[in-house]
C-alpha cells in the first residue's frame, strides 16, 4: 500500500497515518475475537482434561479390580487392596436427595411469596438476606450443623422414630445442605417467576380465578422448566459440597437404611483421607477413582436432566 499516493476528493493526499490506524483497529478487532474463542475452547476443554486426568490416575485401582466390583462392593479394606465404593455412592445420593426434598418446597413457596405477594419494600429487604446466605462459607454451616442440627436430631427428632441416634446422620447432612442450596434455588426461581408476563396472570384473574388458583394452575405450570433447571443446578452443587456435609453426616462407610443412619459421601471420603493415607498402596488411586465417580455422576445427571428439560419444553409447545 505504501508506494502510491491516494488523493481524496479535494485532491489532498490522504494521511497514511490515518490509514494505518484504520488497519490496526480492524486487526485489533480480529485478534480480540480470536482470543475470546481460544479462551472459550480452553475452559470447555478443561472439562475433558480433568476427566481424562482423573481416569488416568484411577488406572492402577481399575487394573486391580473391575468397574462392576468397585461400584457394587461394600467392602472397604484398603490394606488388603479392597475398595468398594457402593456405600459412598449411596451416601452421596441419600444426602443430596434429602437436601432437595427439604429445600425444593421451601424454595418454591419462598420465591412465590417474594415475587407474587410481598410488598416491593419487603422484597427489597428480603432479597439481600437470601443472597447473604449464599455468601456464608460452608464451614460455618458445618459448625452450625454440629451445634444445632445434631442435638436437635439426637434429642428431639430421632427419639420419635428410632431407639438411638447420635444425630450424626444423612438427615443432618441433608438439612445443612438444604440450607446451603436454598439461596441458589430461590434466586433462580425469583428470576423465573419475575419474567412471567403480567398479562398471563391477568388472563386467569379476569376469569374470576383467585390468586392462588392462578399461581397453582398457570404460573407454576408455565414455570416448570425453570423450576427443574434450578433444581438441577442445586443438585449438581449439592453432590460436590464437602466440608459442611462431612462435619455432620457421621462418615461411616455403610449403606444408610434410614435418614438417621450415618453416611459417608464421596467428597467427604476424598477430603478426609487425601494426604493422610498415601502410604497405603493404591489408596491415592482409589481416591482419584472416587473423584472420577463424582465427576461422572454429575456429568450423567446433567446430561439426563438436559434431555428431560428439552423433552418437557417440546411437550409444552406441542
Partner 1 sequence: MTKDKAHISVQDLNVHIGGNHILKDLNIDIPNKSVTSIIGPSGCGKTTLLKTFNRLHDTAADVKVTGKVLVDGEDIYDPNTEITHIRKKMGLLSQRPYPLPMSIYDNVAYGPRIHGTRKKQDLDIIVEKQLKATALWNEVKDRLHSSATRLSIGQQQRLCLARGLAVGPEIILGDESTSALDPVSTSIIEDLFVKLKQDYSIVLVTHILRQAARVSDYIIFVYDGRIVEYGKTEQVLRNPREELTKEYVKGYIV
Residue 163 touching partner 1 (CB under 8 A):
no
Cα gap 303→311, rounded to integer Å: 12
User: To the nearest whole angstrom, how small is the minimum distance from the Cβ of residue 287 to partner 1?
Assistant: 47
Residue 202 touching partner 1 (CB under 8 A):
yes
Cα gap 300→282, rounded to integer Å: 26
**Residue count, binding to partner 1 (CB under 8 A):** 24
Helices 283-317 and 266-273 sit at what angle, rounded to 10 degrees?
150
Q: Which of 205, 233, 254, 271 binds partner 1 (CB under 8 A)?
A: 205
Q: Which of 23, 156, 217, 311 binds partner 1 (CB under 8 A)?
A: 217
Using the minimum distance from each CB to partner 1, give the nearer residue, 1 or 317: 317
CA 277 to chain CA centroid, nearest Å: 29
Region from 25-33, 77-85, 195-203, 235-243 binding partner 1, contact rule CB under 8 A:
195-203
Residue 192 touching partner 1 (CB under 8 A):
no
Residue found under cell 438427615: 171
Region from 4-12, 30-38, 215-223, 288-296 binding partner 1, contact rule CB under 8 A:
215-223
Quick check: helix, strand or coil at residue 318?
A: coil
User: To the nearest whole angstrom, how small is the minimum distance from the Cβ of residue 224 to partner 1?
Assistant: 9
Cα gap 82→72, rounded to integer Å: 12
Contact 196, 222 (CB under 8 A): yes
DSSP secondary structure code for residue 276 in this structure: T
User: To the nearest whole angstrom, how small is the minimum distance from the Cβ of residue 226 to partner 1?
Assistant: 12
Sorted by sequence, the CB contacts under 8 Å of residue 194 that are 6+ apart come out as 115
Residue 201 touching partner 1 (CB under 8 A):
yes
Q: What residues numbered 21-60 form the site for partner 1, per CB under 8 A?
A: none
Using the minimum distance from each CB to partner 1, give the nearer residue, 118 or 136: 118
Angle, CA of 221, 226 and 232, to the nearest 5°: 125
Q: Which x/- pattern, by CB under 8 A, does the window 108-127 give for partner 1?
A: -----------xx-------
Give residue 95's region: left, alpha or beta (phi > 0; psi -120 to 50): alpha
Contact 219, 190 (CB under 8 A): no
Using the minimum distance from each CB to partner 1, give the nearer residue, 220 or 243: 220
Contact 188, 138 (CB under 8 A): no
User: To the nearest whole angstrom, how small is the minimum distance from the Cβ of residue 314 to partner 1?
Assistant: 10
φ, ψ at 13 (rounded to 5°): -65, 140
Region from 198-206, 244-252, 266-274, 298-306 binding partner 1, contact rule CB under 8 A:
198-206
Cα gap 81→75, rounded to integer Å: 10
Q: Which three cell numbers stand for residue 31?
A: 485478534
User: To the nearest whole angstrom, how small is the minimum distance from the Cβ of residue 211 to partner 1?
Assistant: 9
Rounded to 10 degrees, what is the CA torsion of 118, 140, 302, 55? 170
Residue 222 touching partner 1 (CB under 8 A):
yes
Neighbouring-strand partners of residue 250: 263
User: To the nearest whole angstrom, how small is the minimum distance from the Cβ of residue 213 to partner 1?
Assistant: 6
Residue 204 touching partner 1 (CB under 8 A):
yes
Region from 106-114, 146-154, 205-213, 297-305 binding partner 1, contact rule CB under 8 A:
205-213
Q: What residues numbered 259-318 form the site for partner 1, per CB under 8 A?
A: 316-318
Residue 189 touching partner 1 (CB under 8 A):
no
Residues within the interface to partner 1 (CB under 8 A): 119-120, 197-210, 213, 217-218, 221-222, 316-318
Amino acid at each position: 500500500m505504501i508506494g502510491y499516493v491516494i488523493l481524496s476528493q479535494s485532491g489532498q493526499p490522504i494521511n497514511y497515518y490515518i490509514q494505518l490506524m484504520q488497519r490496526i483497529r480492524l486487526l485489533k478487532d480480529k485478534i480480540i475475537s480470536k482470543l475470546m474463542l481460544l479462551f472459550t475452547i480452553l475452559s470447555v476443554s478443561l472439562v475433558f482434561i480433568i476427566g481424562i486426568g482423573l481416569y488416568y490416575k484411577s488406572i492402577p485401582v481399575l487394573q486391580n479390580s473391575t468397574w462392576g466390583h468397585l461400584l457394587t462392593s461394600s467392602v472397604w479394606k484398603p490394606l488388603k487392596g479392597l475398595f468398594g465404593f457402593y456405600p459412598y455412592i449411596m451416601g452421596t445420593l441419600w444426602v443430596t436427595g434429602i437436601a432437595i426434598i427439604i429445600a425444593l418446597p421451601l424454595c418454591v413457596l419462598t420465591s412465590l411469596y417474594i415475587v407474587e405477594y410481598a410488598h416491593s419494600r419487603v422484597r427489597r429487604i428480603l432479597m439481600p438476606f437470601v443472597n447473604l446466605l449464599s455468601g456464608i462459607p460452608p464451614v460455618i454451616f458445618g459448625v452450625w450443623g454440629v451445634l444445632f442440627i445434631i442435638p436437635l436430631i439426637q434429642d428431639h427428632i430421632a427419639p420419635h422414630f428410632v431407639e438411638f441416634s447420635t444425630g450424626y446422620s444423612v438427615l443432618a447432612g441433608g438439612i445443612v445442605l438444604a440450607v446451603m442450596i436454598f439461596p441458589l434455588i430461590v434466586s433462580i426461581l425469583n428470576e423465573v417467576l419475575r419474567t412471567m408476563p403480567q398479562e398471563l396472570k391477568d388472563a386467569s384473574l379476569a376469569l374470576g380465578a383467585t390468586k392462588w388458583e392462578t399461581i397453582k394452575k398457570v404460573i407454576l405450570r408455565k414455570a416448570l422448566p425453570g423450576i427443574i433447571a434450578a433444581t438441577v443446578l442445586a443438585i449438581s452443587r449439592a453432590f460436590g459440597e464437602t466440608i459442611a456435609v462431612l462435619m455432620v453426616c457421621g462418615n461411616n462407610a455403610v449403606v444408610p437404611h434410614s435418614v438417621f443412619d450415618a453416611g459417608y459421601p464421596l467428597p467427604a471420603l476424598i477430603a478426609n483421607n487425601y494426604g493422610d493415607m498415601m502410604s497405603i498402596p493404591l489408596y491415592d488411586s482409589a481416591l482419584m477413582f472416587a473423584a472420577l465417580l463424582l465427576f461422572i455422576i454429575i456429568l450423567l445427571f446433567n446430561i439426563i436432566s438436559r434431555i428431560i428439560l428439552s423433552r418437557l419444553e417440546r411437550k409444552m409447545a406441542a
